[in-house]
């Protein structure tokens, strides 16, 4: 189901990120005792466990009664606590407009870690700034999560022409800039998809894109594909009306030609139905099953980013921690009251998108947790909100938890390093006060975080939040509202 080059690429990419920073080399063993380990793969609890870590790795996981604690180890009693692998936000944009990487690390790095996010996949941003942030993270334990990035997006801007030679040059430049995969612009020329995927495969890079308006067959079968981002255009591919006909109808509704306008006036042609209403009317759940079964069997991953779709509808509430006005870069402006018709339309959109998530889940589509968060949300806390939304959409707590832990490891081809609390894996761990298998929203109750083997207790996490609170004031001053 997966291309062999993907596995080798991402293991190499992840393991080039030091798992044992120089400053941690001489630290004693950390022994977590009496812990309840969450087995995210089986959705089970392993109670009364001891976890030994050193030099950025998990050395041992086993029953506390039979585990010998090395002399000199730092013992941490986790009775009544739950340990999960570090969380990953698989769709972020963090290279903002701050003048220096250090300021961004103080804000984003602090809040990611304070909320249990030990790894992020950046989906398009300034490579130099992202590299600088990553360098700070690898040299200063507890400053920044692991970071995989694509550099700047690849593709034409503002409707300009684009050729396969330009795509090749862009991919080459991204590789030289340190990108670990390729992210295409949202509206990439459909006729170049197959060739571009071939270029990515030749460069041993995954290619990530929005769901195209054109037939998805090429994407689902060609080497080089990585993941689809967001849920836009998905409903068209599972409609009673062929997707190409729907997209043609949308274009005509928005930009009718002169001839079409004349034909409307002469009543020789009907103007297409309003696109939003048409989307709601043509959903075909039978086609859902066939299409998403095809997606699942292809091995293609999808990052739903329900938080993004929530942002467009706002029909459900996010937890206060995700919208804390003291921690967001741009506090949200209160929206004007909606008319009943507008509220009904927003609810219909939300029902459509969550219905698509349920259909994907029923077909066993491989899903990743990502947020594409806006500046109106709190980094890290908004991933916790995303997990809650996925649970509300019908997934079990264990299934949702995998989208941010084990599934990223599978996607990267790095299950021998990431995604589970198992001996040999990197020591990226989150200690929770309550059982996330009862309710995945318990991931917000973070007691401790271990990142690259560096332990951050509750007081240290509170200090990180305070650092972020101070830095956000500087970031706001540097990018005033326009």
Token look-up 């990553």 returns 134
Report the C-alpha gap between 405 and 474 in whole angstroms. Answer: 32
Q: What pLDDT score was predicted for residue 26? A: 52
- 354-398 pLDDT, tens digit each: 999 999 999 999 999 999 987 899 999 999 999 999 999 999 999
Q: What pLDDT score was predicted for residue 209? A: 93
3-state helix, strand, coil in the chain (%, to 5): 45, 20, 40
Taking alpha carbons only, the member of 107, 90, 89 closest to residue 98 is 107
**Mean pLDDT for all residues in the chain:** 89
Q: Domains in the chain, please, with CATH?
A: 4-149+230-240+283-478 (3.20.20)
- Does residue 427 or residue 242 have the better pLDDT? 427
Q: Is the dihedral of CA 31, 35, 38, 42 positive or negative?
A: positive
- Does residue 23 or residue 188 have the better pLDDT? 188
Q: What pLDDT score was predicted for residue 17? A: 44
- The pTM is what? 0.92
For residues 367 and 87, the answer to whether their CB atoms sit within 8 Å is: no
Using DSSP's 3-state secondary structure scheme, residue 49 falls into strand
Q: What pLDDT score was predicted for residue 243? A: 83
Report the C-alpha gap between 153 and 182 in whole angstroms. Answer: 7
- Does residue 382 or residue 211 have the better pLDDT? 382
Token look-up 């291309």 returns 3
- Does residue 385 or residue 214 have the better pLDDT? 385
Residue 18, judged by CB atoms within 10 A of its CB (0-12, 13-18, 19+), counts as middle
- 127-151 pLDDT, tens digit each: 999 999 999 999 998 999 999 999 9
Among 14-18, 171-175, 249-253, 334-338, name the most confident range.
171-175
Task: Label residue 212 by pLDDT band (50, 70, 90).
Answer: confident
- Does residue 143 or residue 332 have the better pLDDT? 143
Residue 287, judged by CB atoms within 10 A of its CB (0-12, 13-18, 19+), counts as middle
- 94-111 pLDDT, tens digit each: 976 777 899 999 999 999
Q: What pLDDT score was predicted for residue 9? A: 52
Q: What pLDDT score was predicted for residue 2? A: 45
Among 218-222, 265-269, 439-443, 470-474, name the most confident range.
439-443
Report the C-alpha gap between 393 and 354 in whole angstroms. Answer: 5
Residue 482 has pLDDT above 50, yes or no: no
Provide long-range contacts, Cβ within 8 A and 24+ apart, for 211-219: 211/237, 212/188, 213/243, 213/244, 213/247, 214/190, 214/244, 215/243, 215/244, 218/193, 218/194, 219/193, 219/300
Mean pLDDT value of segment 148-161: 90
Q: What are the backbone angles phi and psi of residue 111, rounded to the nearest 5°?
A: -75, -35
- 14-32 pLDDT, tens digit each: 544 444 443 444 567 999 9
Residue 182 has pLDDT above 70, yes or no: yes
- 35-45 pLDDT, tens digit each: 999 999 999 99
Lowest-pLDDT choice from 86-100, 116-130, 298-312, 360-374: 86-100
Give the strand pairing for 87-92 and 117-122.
parallel
Task: Label residue 201 by pLDDT band (50, 70, 90).
Answer: very high
Residue 335 has pLDDT above 90, yes or no: no
Mean pLDDT value of segment 320-330: 93
Give the strand pairing for 225-229 and 301-303.
parallel
Provide long-range contacts, Cβ within 8 A and 24+ apart, for 460-469: 460/142, 461/113, 461/114, 462/114, 464/110, 464/111, 464/113, 464/114, 464/142, 465/110, 465/111, 465/114, 465/327, 467/106, 467/110, 468/106, 468/107, 468/110, 468/111, 468/114, 468/327, 469/326, 469/327
Q: What pLDDT score was predicted for residue 83? A: 98
Q: Read off the tokens for 387.
A: 């997990």
Residue 335, judged by CB atoms within 10 A of its CB (0-12, 13-18, 19+), counts as exposed
């Amino acid at each position: 189901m997966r291309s062999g080059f993907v596995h080798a690429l991402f293991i190499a990419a992840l393991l080039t990120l030091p798992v044992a920073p120089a400053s941690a080399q001489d630290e004693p063993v950390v022994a977590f005792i009496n812990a309840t380990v969450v087995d995210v793969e089986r959705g089970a609890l392993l109670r009364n466990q001891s976890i030994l870590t050193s030099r950025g790795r998990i050395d041992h996981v086993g029953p506390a009664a039979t585990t010998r604690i090395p002399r000199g180890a730092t013992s941490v009693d986790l009775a009544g606590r739950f340990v999960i692998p570090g969380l990953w936000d698989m769709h972020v944009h963090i290279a903002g407009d701050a003048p220096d990487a250090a300021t961004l690390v103080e804000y984003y790095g602090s809040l990611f870690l304070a909320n249990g996010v030990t790894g992020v996949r950046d989906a398009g941003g300034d490579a130099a700034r992202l590299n600088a942030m990553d360098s700070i993270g690898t040299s200063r334990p507890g400053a920044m999560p692991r970071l995989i990035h694509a550099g700047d997006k690849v593709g034409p801007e503002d409707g300009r022409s684009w050729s396969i030679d330009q795509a090749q040059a862009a991919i080459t430049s991204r590789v030289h800039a340190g990108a670990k995969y390729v992210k295409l612009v949202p509206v990439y020329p459909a006729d170049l998809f197959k060739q571009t995927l071939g270029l990515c495969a030749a460069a041993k890079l995954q290619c990530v894109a929005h769901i195209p308006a054109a037939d998805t067959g090429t994407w689902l079968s060609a080497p080089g594909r990585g993941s689809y981002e967001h849920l836009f255009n998905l409903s068209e591919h599972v409609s009673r009306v062929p997707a190409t006909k729907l997209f043609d109808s949308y274009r005509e509704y928005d930009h009718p030609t002169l001839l079409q306008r004349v034909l409307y006036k002469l009543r020789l042609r009907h103007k297409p139905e309003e696109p939003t209403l048409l989307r709601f009317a043509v959903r075909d759940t039978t086609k859902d099953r066939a299409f998403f079964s095809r997606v699942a069997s292809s091995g293609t991953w999808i990052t739903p980013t329900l938080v993004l779709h929530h942002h467009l509808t706002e029909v459900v509430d996010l937890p206060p921690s995700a919208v804390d006005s003291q921690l967001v870069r741009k506090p949200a402006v209160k929206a004007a009251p909606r008319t009943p018709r507008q509220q009904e339309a927003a609810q219909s959109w939300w029902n459509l998108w969550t219905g698509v998530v349920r259909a994907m889940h029923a077909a066993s589509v491989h899903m990743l947790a990502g947020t594409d968060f806006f500046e109106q949300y709190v980094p890290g806390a908004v991933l916790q909100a995303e997990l809650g939304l996925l649970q509300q959409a019908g997934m079990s707590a264990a299934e949702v938890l995998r989208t941010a832990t084990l599934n990223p490891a599978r996607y990267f081809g790095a299950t021998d390093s990431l995604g589970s609390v198992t001996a040999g894996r990197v020591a990226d761990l989150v200690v929770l006060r309550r059982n996330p298998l009862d309710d995945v929203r318990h991931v917000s109750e973070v007691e401790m975080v271990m990142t690259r083997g560096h332990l951050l207790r509750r007081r240290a996490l509170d200090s990180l939040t305070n650092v972020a609170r101070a830095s956000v004031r500087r970031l706001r001053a540097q990018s005033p509202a326009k």
